Amino acid sequence: MFLENYYQEPEVLRINAEANHSYFIPFNKTDLFNIFKREESSFFTLLNGEWQFEFYPNVQDLPQNIEQIPFKHKISIPSNWQVFGFDSHQYTNINYPFPFDPPFVPLDTPCGVYQKFININLASNKHYLLNFEGVDSCLYLYVNNKFVGYGSISHCTNEFDITSYLINGENKLTIFVLKWSVGSYFEDQDKFRMSGIFRDVYLLEREENYIRDIEISTTLSTDLSQGDINIQLTFTKESQSINAFLFDPKGNLLAKQENCLQENICFNEIKLTQDQLWSAENPALYCLHLESKEERIIQYIGFRRIEIKNAVLMLNNQSLKFKGVNRHDSDPETGYAISITQALRDLELMKQHNINAIRTAHYPNSPWFSELCDHYGFYLISESDIECHGAAMQAVIMPEPSIFLNVENQNEDQRIRQATIDHFCYFAREPIYQTQLLERTKANIERDKNRTSILIWSLGNESGYGENFETCAKWVKQRDPKRLVHYESSIYQHSEHKNDTNNLDLYSEMYSDTDVIDAYFSNEEQVKKPFLLCEYSHAMGNSNGDMEDYFQIFNKYMGCCGGFIWEWCDHAQYIQANKLGYGGDFGEKLHDGNFCVDGLVSPQRKPHSNLLEVKNVNRPVRAKLEKGQIFIHNYFDFTNLKDAVEIQYELVANMCVIEQGVFIVDCPAHRSTILPISIPKEYKELLWLNLTYISIKKQPLLPEKHIFGFDQIILSENYTTENRDKNIFSEKLIIMENKKNFIIQNQNCYYELNKLTGVIDQIKVKGKNIIHQPLEWNIWRAPTDNDRLTRNQWQSVGYDQAYSRVYSINFREEKNDIIFFVKSSIVAAGKSKIMDLDVEYHLSAEGKITIKANAYVGQYLPYLPRFGLRFYLDKGQEFEYLGYGENESYIDKHHSAKLGKYIVSAELNHIDYLKPQENGSHFNCHYIRNNIINITSSKPFSFNLSPYTQEELTTKNHNYELVRSDYDILCIDYKMSGIGSNSCGPNLKTKYRLAEKHIKFNLDLVFLI
């Protein structure tokens, strides 16, 4: 079988395919219309389902003709053939999975061949259009053994008029799909690399002279009180008579034009009210019916205006903030093949967690996806199917050792950086690749140009910048001047080219720290473009500790229009039942490990604590205490609080509700008001105000009485530890010693203090072992994904191998008690001393231990992961704690948690990240206790209760590899360093690091048995 070499010709993207046009499905005028059930159209035949399939690991092994292909297998489409065991999964982030030799790809690239027989009763004067909405990476189409055409651009529609190839009755469709093609150089997105027909395949039956393209544009008056709709039709032949009907958002017929023979139809001076304008908060849509001789085409349109005024992004005359996410098509069972049901589940979760915008990273989604966003209210950045990130990896110049040694050598460093940028810009500048970039841009825009939810066209992602992208930006601006144009990589300047960014409307960066945004707006009068973070707060593992800081900076400047978190869902594929894998788990040599497991939700769409943090940070209402009054601010962009939210409040004193009620307040968007709550002026104990923001009316994708978020205002945190019933052991403690330990005991208590380590080895009360291994001074945590860079520093100084050693131990007896004074340090083999420790252990005859520690950390050491004590306790215990819960919480990641009383066990507290890491800690706790032990400190502390040791979590690569400890592991920490998002983002902010050089820490352990 000979396939023409189109797949290696950079300027050939399609052969015999139909020209790009807007997406719509024609219905028969007698059909019942449902926009999301297009298969109910009489003119639409869905060809999904079972196809015959044959896989060739090497395209060169194809037989001489189609008839010789055995088709021994069956495969369901849409799908990726790797999901069915053909070929294998591979995950890479930046590197191309094949040699970099553009435009060539390996001659032995794999090939999948699909075949299906379909019966067609051919009608005269009809056209039959075969549509492929997504095929990776390219396809060759044969009908009845005759070559029809070639198509590429994996995430865009390829449509073929196959009328002349069909016969009445049974017809054979054969599709050859190649794994790699020249297009693969432009589809180097950060994802699993999968192949095949992964989106719907269908046949459309059209009239002889049919509407080929529809372009709908809206115009709004300055005051938004009226609007015009302009419809431009393109026919395959001459114009034909069209009836046009326009219905308002409530379904009432607003206007009609019958027997229109012109290609342009207008509905002018439509009167509008505020609730008839489209936004994510109010996705009001007008319905347009276009009827020809046989067909009815229905399109939904919203009135909205997106523009930039004085470097501020504006929608319908209001400044706009994107609370966005980047979203891939990804599922552990179906790969790239995502159904409307699956997508709707994503949108439902996003809406419920205060996400209002999506960047289609980094390719157009299925055409119905933007229709969903129109209806349910999401702002879209629709991105062209372009990423050439791997070109940057071709700068094979190694830096000099001086850079590794952190010795300044700025000239060399800059030379290497510039060489990398120059390679990065290769495809952006080479003239032979302009067609690839421009056709991909056109395919994105022409298909989805009628979708209201799309506010911004993005030229692509991480592909450098140069003349080719400048051509694309200019074309987009001319083709669609009413939308904005985005492209982040325009910040990269080739050494031989001066970037022209005049046709780009936004200044965009990725993963920049808040300091960068402050610097951008340091002279706001000179700012010419809004600032956008198209990727930020990398959600890999236990992450998103910087959300509140980003929220504050976004709202500090009008010209900062928000950002899009990377990313929505973890990418993972099943290795076997109940076992998910990431890069390297499928036998591939070139991979990027678990860098794809970086979402706000799990592969199965279970929300991570990251998403809960995002939800409450992005709550549309916020409260603050100022001068004894509670001020409420409305962060909605268009909605008055009285129309959307009731505010439930509770005033809580010492964990008892002393006052509660409900308010509905009149507060327009972007404004503040005072909540009429009387706050006690003085209160000497624990007092807080809980405010919960609850939806008033039912909204699409939201449950009734949906909780938008909450505020907890701590008015007083003077908590007094309760007196707990306990045995009073009056018998004097006596002390003995051997070579290893001091032994301290009375009739009810038994302690051992280790002479070598300076820690308590054993605690028994009334014969019961309280701890099952010695206490440990603890500075290590199982690295989070955000610690992946800092981890090297920590391990280089031995934090992961640290243990304590003694210099001296003294004691004195005080009445019935004994007090030990231990001078020790924390050290690691082959490393300098980490810290000196002066510890006082007050062992009480009454069943209490008080520990006071002074730690002096080495001057030049990196900040500590944590500092505290580790306890090995009986399995299966439950504890009560007063602290931030019930979600995991950290110094920088606690905005989805509340101060309160909670019950916790090791099993319930553990969070099952796919790659094991630190999880389940609780910030700002006053006590943790059960019927055996009560632990308190003079200052709030952090704790973690886990069924796994930190060593187990550190060394295992997958959650299913974890082996449960024989004990429950309780870590009580003076502090734990924050979480941040440094897996791909800024370093953890100094204010969230445990960088103190002198630490004072005390604990009281009271035994209650």
Q: Which residues are catalytic?
A: 462, 535
Spatial distance between the Cα atoms of 779 and 804, rounded to a whole number of angstroms: 11
Asked whether 98 and 163 are in contact (CB, 8 A), the reply is no
Helices (H), 510-666: 514-520, 547-554, 609-617
A 10 A CB-CB count for 467 gives 17
Per-residue tokens: 271: 């009167």
Residue 800: DSSP 8-state: G
- Read out DSSP for 31-91? SPP-TT-GGGSTTEEE--EEEEEEEESSGGG--SSGGG----EEEEESS-GGGGTSS---E
Is 204 within 8 Å of 25 (Cβ atoms)? Answer: yes
Distance set, CA 50 to CA 53, 121, 505, 574, 866 (Å): 9, 21, 46, 22, 55
CA–CA distance, 410 with 392 (Å, rounded to integer) = 20
Q: How far apart are CA 509 and CA 516, in angstroms?
A: 10
Amino acid (1-letter code) at residue 84? F
Pairwise CA distance, residues 103 & 430, whole Å: 11
- Asked whether the beta carbons of 151 and 439 are under 8 A apart, the reply is no
| Helix/strand/coil for 163 | helix
Measured CA to CA, the distance from residue 946 to residue 965 in angstroms comes to 9
Place of tokens 């024989």: 966
Longest dimension (CA), the chain: 108
Rounded to 5 degrees, φ, ψ at 852 are -125, 125
Beta bridge partners of 21: none
Helices (H) and strands (E) in the chain, counts: 13, 60
Beta-carbon count within 10 A of 627 CB:
5
Q: Report d(CA 40, CA 30) in Å as an integer.
A: 11
Kindly give the residue spans of alpha helices, DSSP state H, lying in 773-923: 790-796, 906-909
Token pair for 708:
């938008």
Give the CA dihedral 777, 783, 787, 792, nearest 10 degrees: 80
What are the C-alpha distances in Å from 523 to residues 432, 488, 520, 526?
41, 22, 7, 6
Let me know: does 323 contact 352? Beta carbons within 8 Å: no
- Give residue for tokens 């306990």: 726
Q: 3-state DSSP call for residue 599? A: coil
* Cβ atoms of residues 155 and 121 within 8 Å: no
